[in-house]
Structure 1
Amino acid sequence: MRLGAVLGSGALLVGVLSGCSGAAPGADSGETDTDAALAQDVTLTWWTWSDNTQAQADAISEAYPNVTFDVVKLENPDAVVTKLQNAVKAGKGAPDIVPVEYQTVPQLTLGGALADLTPYGLDSYESSFTASTWNSVNVEGKLVAMPSDSGPMVMIYNTGLYEKAGITEAPTTWDEFATASAAIHAADPEAYIANSGDAGFFTSMIWASGGQPFTTDGENVTIDLQDEGTKKFADFWGERLAAGELSGLSTWSDEWTKALTQDKLGTLLMGSWMISGMDDYGPAGRFEVAPMPTWDGEPASAENGGSGLAVTAQSANKAAAAGVLKYLAEGEGRALLNENGFPSTIADLENPEWLDHPYESYGGQPANQVGAASAESVLPGWQYLPYQGYANNVFSDSVGKALGSGGDLNEALLEWQDTLVKFGDEQGFTVNQ
């Protein structure tokens, strides 16, 4: 469930912009009755990066005996995007069902890779999902995926490390976070409140700070990596960086894991999918989960990771594939998805049994309550670039370098912006004009 940078997926699907989409519609019958489609003999190809998809497919086949699946396991989200892009360019070879990270939904939609699910009635599920995840799968007036999991941000912190520095309560504001940051590093020069982060972290923190640096309207893209929210976070994080209070360890690296387990890294600012993932980082009870700090103490959060399921434009079995997504939208089908991710469905986020589940990792804390509250406070209006994969990939050339060297983050953001404007123009978009 980790948030993954879409490394290598920078090649934009440019068919739509050039006026000639490579996403051949296939031999789909045009049938929109999903129940009728699922009652017929059909084999659906389902690409995935998850180890759990085959079990889900088997369960769906039990519910719909005429439906069989050819599950194709690929290495990671990047591999799925790359393979789908190649299929679009070739005009053939796409599966029926494909997972899509929220950050790459605009890219794949504008490239003509994903089918509009509205004709199959999936738009009726809008009230079932959190506003942020539903917004993530609606692009240019089309519903192009159904939300699977979500990643409203929380703060997971090492209570012992904080207390050693004299901090007895979780910071509720960024000013309090700054105080804790200085105290932790002063108490132990080898300890840090957090690591400096990567592209996914940085964009989520900009979002949580009220920034909206990316907007897209058709072929017109606006990039402003010095808007108020973006600059607010860059200034704050740059101060921590200049003070030497942030670790340079790469998230998920062996060294990062070692720092967590040896009480040298005090805080994870991540999606709520990480709530259930702390068993590998030391004895139970060392960590607690708290809401994200905010600028004024009022709840404000962002999504950090998560994905949905889509039907491809090339599928010859769109109605049946859409029927599978309907099954997975609620009831037993949704329970299958929720077994391995943080929910995006409101009913599940409000389920008392789930909310009150005690986590041994946090000494019995019902930490899902914090994640559910975060889902309600995700700030509206966020958009990803229609080439977010490329943006994440080149982040290390500018902002990443500044994070590693203690450089000026605002200057680095402007350098990143220049790169993104140039790339967008090369891909056929009209950027910042």
Structure 2
Amino acid sequence: MRRGISIAAAVTVIALSATACGGSDDNASSKPKDPKDVSGTITYWDTSDAANEAPAYKALISEFEAKYPKIKVNYQNVPFTDVEQKFKSAAKSGKGAPDVVRTDVGLMAEYASLGYIAPLDGTAALKDTSDFNTGPMNTAKYNGKTYGVPSVTDTLALLYNKDLLKKAGISKPPATWDEFIADSKTIKKKTGAYGTYLNPDAYFLLPLLYSNGADMAQPSEKKITISDAAAVKALTTAKQINDEASMKVDFANAYQNMQTAFKNGKVAMLVQGPWSVGDDLTGKAFKGKESNLGYAPVPAGEGGKAQAPTGGHNLAVYQGSGNLDASYLFTQFMTSTKSQVTIAEKTGTLPTRKSAYTDKVTSDAKIAGFKPILEQTARPRVALPQVGSLFTPLAQNYVKILQGDTSVKSGLDATAKEFQKLLPGYSIG
């Protein structure tokens, strides 16, 4: 689980600023080398699925080395669950960090604040930013600078079983949370299936917060907002979904049970991401009938706007890399339109460049389904270095609220107090 900034980490920032090879802001303004003259070996940490996605990335690396024969890439596949602590430990010590790392978009602010990754504005890594979709591009920014290049993206949507909705007499997926609850009750009454399965993970709470005009905090005002009236409304709705619309949640194994129930037709609707679709299509509700899987934006709240977090991965360059020019070229190549088209076609992940949504790419039903949803509803998480750490107390109190161990207001007040420990100088309210 992500943690806040420590004193030791702050000391590391100073040390890196003083000693990193070419690791200051001056890198961005220095004249880049001619690409054909760039040489050296760089290490790349890839967090893609080792079995199903990594082969496509390895093939691209071979193309890169053929194009730039003076540059060699030391490819290492690092499990997604391990890479955060492994990278932070290496960057902090100044030993063993990769030159380029594939990082979850939610970690960009923390890495940048700690001085672990280099600003890329003005470098070869960022040549044509206008081609990137706004949502993914915003995840790469921190304090007015760009610290990553969007590689793949995703968001949360409402996935639904078309047959079950039709059987229940529902002509279109719910557009609001109130409709979502009402439709769930209708589905249960007319089909025997449950309307939904509520995922108790705090990340999946974000659409409810956002669509009610709530968020964890407001950095511009240095305020913690997780316990304000809008957040109380969002959590009250979540509690109502749990109590009135959801299949009984097994909190010990919620995600797996949720997936099993949905793909086998025991649940009609889920708030989920594109990563789940491959698994969904293996169940009896969708196997051999992919067209039965529907895609819609997450429902809207009282504010009337449907919103969900922008997810995905960016490529970032280690501030202390001794081969910055090679790292910039590699980052540019791996996030180019051609590379993104290749990755999308081979792995089914969503590109971050507009030009990468070719006819062949959008022939994938999942990509075609999520593309307009990304454009309509995706927004970045609050840009705080401690954002990852905030999810821990939020998740703990969210579960207590859902289980009825505390009231919505008391649970959120407790969360706000824990946030205050992680956000020095922030007020509650």
Aligned 8 A contact 1:38 1:323 in 2:
no
Aligned 8 A contact 1:115 1:311 in 2:
yes
- Cα deviation, 1:88-112, whole Å, max 9, x if unaligned, reads 3213321100111111111111111
Aligned 8 A contact 2:198 2:242 in 1:
no
Counterpart residue number, 1:397: 396
**Alpha-carbon spacing, 1:392–1:177, altered in 2? closer, same or farther (3 Å):** same
> Counterparts of 1:41-60 in structure 2 under 5 Å?
41-50=39-48, 51=50, 52=54, 53-60=57-64
Aligned 8 A contact 2:106 2:388 in 1:
yes
Equivalent residues, number:
410
Give the SS at the match of 1:185: helix
Aligned 8 A contact 1:120 1:322 in 2:
yes
**Residue 12 in 1 paired to residue 16 in 2?**
no
Separation in 2, partners of 1:262, 1:276: 14
Separation in 2, partners of 1:407, 1:196: 18
Aligned 8 A contact 2:309 2:379 in 1:
no
Counterpart residue number, 1:240: 241
**Residue 344 in 1 paired to residue 352 in 2?**
yes
Q: CA deviation at 1:189?
A: 6.6
**Alpha-carbon spacing, 1:122–1:287, altered in 2? closer, same or farther (3 Å):** same
Aligned 8 A contact 2:310 2:381 in 1:
no
**Alpha-carbon spacing, 1:258–1:379, altered in 2? closer, same or farther (3 Å):** closer
Q: CA deviation at 1:224?
A: 0.6
**Alpha-carbon spacing, 1:152–1:229, altered in 2? closer, same or farther (3 Å):** farther
Q: CA deviation at 1:306?
A: 0.8
**Alpha-carbon spacing, 1:125–1:26, altered in 2? closer, same or farther (3 Å):** same
Aligned 8 A contact 2:337 2:356 in 1:
no
**Residue 170 in 1 paired to residue 173 in 2?**
yes
Q: CA deviation at 1:163?
A: 3.5
Q: CA deviation at 1:240?
A: 1.8
Q: Which runs of 5+ in 2 are unaligned?
A: none
Aligned 8 A contact 2:341 2:361 in 1:
no
- Cα deviation, 1:248-290, whole Å, max 9, x if unaligned, reads 1467744333212332222222234545553223323342222
**Alpha-carbon spacing, 1:173–1:394, altered in 2? closer, same or farther (3 Å):** closer
Counterpart residue number, 1:73: 77
Aligned 8 A contact 1:211 1:230 in 2:
yes
Separation in 2, partners of 1:380, 1:232: 20
Separation in 2, partners of 1:109, 1:83: 16
More deviation in 30-39 or 154-163? Answer: 30-39
**Residue 432 in 1 paired to residue 427 in 2?**
yes
Q: CA deviation at 1:141?
A: 1.4
Aligned 8 A contact 1:128 1:345 in 2:
yes
Aligned 8 A contact 1:151 1:306 in 2:
yes
Separation in 2, partners of 1:196, 1:409: 17
Counterpart residue number, 2:20: 26
Separation in 1, partners of 2:241, 2:408: 11
Report the TM-score when normalising by structure 2. Answer: 0.84
Q: CA deviation at 1:157?
A: 0.5
Report the TM-score when normalising by structure 1. Answer: 0.83
**Alpha-carbon spacing, 1:158–1:381, altered in 2? closer, same or farther (3 Å):** closer
Counterpart residue number, 2:225: 224
Separation in 2, partners of 1:296, 1:431: 27
Separation in 2, partners of 1:306, 1:376: 14
Q: CA deviation at 1:215?
A: 3.1
Q: CA deviation at 1:332?
A: 2.2
**Residue 156 in 1 paired to residue 159 in 2?**
yes
> Counterparts of 1:409-428 in structure 2 under 5 Å?
409-425=408-424
- Cα deviation, 1:204-236, whole Å, max 9, x if unaligned, reads 44234433332335xx84321134653342222
Aligned 8 A contact 2:12 2:114 in 1:
no
Aligned 8 A contact 1:150 1:272 in 2:
no
Task: Supply the AA of the counterpart residue of 1:385.
Answer: L
Aligned 8 A contact 2:45 2:102 in 1:
yes
More deviation in 403-412 or 82-91? Answer: 403-412
Task: Supply the AA of the counterpart residue of 1:69.
Answer: V
Paired-residue identity, % = 19
Counterpart residue number, 1:322: 328
Q: CA RMSD in A?
A: 3.1
Separation in 2, partners of 1:62, 1:370: 35
Separation in 2, partners of 1:227, 1:38: 56
Counterpart residue number, 2:268: 266
**Alpha-carbon spacing, 1:60–1:405, altered in 2? closer, same or farther (3 Å):** farther
Separation in 2, partners of 1:186, 1:121: 59
Counterpart residue number, 2:150: 147
**Residue 115 in 1 paired to residue 115 in 2?**
no
